[in-house]
Amino acid sequence: MNAYRSKSLSFPWPPLLYSLAVIAALCLQRWYPLPLPFIWALASWVVGALLTAFAVTLNVWAVETLVERRTTVLTQRCSAHLVTTGPFRFTRNPTYLGYTLLTAGLGMMIGNLWFVAMAAAAAALTTLLVIRCEEMHLLSRFGCEFEFYCKHTRRWL
């Protein structure tokens, strides 16, 4: 695909991908349960609660940053500005990182380890279906500025 002809996404894939990941994790737990030893249940809940709180905070911070910069939050709209402040200083995709951590964290809180596996699968699909297209769009809109940003900021962590 030519970067200079790329368009933003036409469908909001991330909510669908992570919703399907949650549904798949619930089904897998029902058909092929992964028992969590009792001794690890409390630790898993604590780690899950921390991940969930961090994920929600990260997503709220990312949305606030995008709104402050007067650019779109929606993946199917063109970006008005390249945002490199707030959580975007640390990761190029803080909302997708937040979705991934939220999915894994909720799974750990309820003791369903399939959520962790499905969060990883959703992150991989998000990279293939969403992030690469978004990066082409941003490259076509912001050129060298986006390339410089990519060299200094990681895609996920």
Residue 101 has pLDDT above 70, yes or no: yes
Q: In the prediction, which pLDDT does 9 show? A: 62
pLDDT given for residue 36 in this prediction: 80
Residue located via tokens 């707030």: 86
Cα–Cα distance for residue pair 121/100, rounded to 1 Å: 9
Average pLDDT, integer, range 12-17: 86
pLDDT digits (tens, 9 = 90+) for 106-135: 999 999 999 999 999 999 999 999 999 889
Domain boundaries, the chain: 36-152
Global pTM value? 0.89
pLDDT tens readout for residues 54-96: 999 999 999 999 999 888 777 667 778 899 999 999 999 999 9
